[in-house]
Amino acid sequence: MTAQFLVAGLGNLPMPLTRHSVGNLILDSLSSRLGAHLVMDKSMGGYYAETTIDVAGSTVSVGLFKPKALMNISGAPTAAALRKTAHQPSSLLVIHDSLDHRPTALSPKFGGSAGGHNGVRSVISALKTNDFHRLRVGIGRPENSVVDYVLGRLPSFERQYWSPDGPGIDLVLQHIENLLLKR
């Protein structure tokens, strides 16, 4: 079975549970919720699982991908995963952190610039297009050092919110289902 839609969660694997790795956390929680075990796929350069989601009575095959590469160079493995699965950039959803949104807020976007996000910039560069879906996950903006803030540990409330049984994963799944309905 080849996935018809790919969901990629960006982050830094060596720094789990940090604000910058909230995309990885959400991908892990989606994997757990959907019963899809992520396994390393060297040809893609990351961890991959495939599952199905029922959307309005139709079953859609969905790939879940977590790049092994660090955030700022996650574009090449994400592009490799897309080539092996859903093929079209419009069949890709990238989940990543956003300083411009309050903690736990979700903000969907299609196309446009990277908005200063180096992980998204890397994906755009590797795909040679910005025509893919994004789900920006709010982490808030600090008053001082952005680097220290994004690499800081997620507060326990946010970790719980994005856990497999947390309300945030319900919202993420709802967003994915809405995207699949529009295809």
* Domain boundaries along the sequence of the chain: 5-181
The predicted-structure confidence for 146-158, as pLDDT tens digits, reads as follows: 999 999 999 999 9
Catalytic residue of the set 20, 96, 117, 133: 20
Confidence at 1, pLDDT banded by 50, 70, 90: low
What whole-number distance in Å separates Cα of residue 53 and Cα of residue 173?
9
Instruction: Work out the angle at residue 96's Cα, subtended by the Cα atoms of residues 177 and 20, and round it to the nearest 5 degrees.
Output: 145
Place of tokens 């807020």: 105
**Integer Rg of the chain from CA:** 15
What was the pLDDT predicted at 24?
98
Nearest CA-CA partner of 73 in 16, 135, 11 = 11
What was the pLDDT predicted at 3?
86
Q: Has this prediction a pTM greater than 0.85?
A: yes
20 is known as an active-site residue: yes
What whole-number distance in Å separates Cα of residue 72 and Cα of residue 12?
9
**Residue 68 above 60 pLDDT?**
yes
Nearest CA-CA partner of 10 in 149, 174, 153, 122 = 122
Name the CATH architecture for the domain at 5-181. 3-Layer(aba) Sandwich (3.40)
What whole-number distance in Å separates Cα of residue 115 and Cα of residue 168?
23
**Residue 117 above 70 pLDDT?**
yes
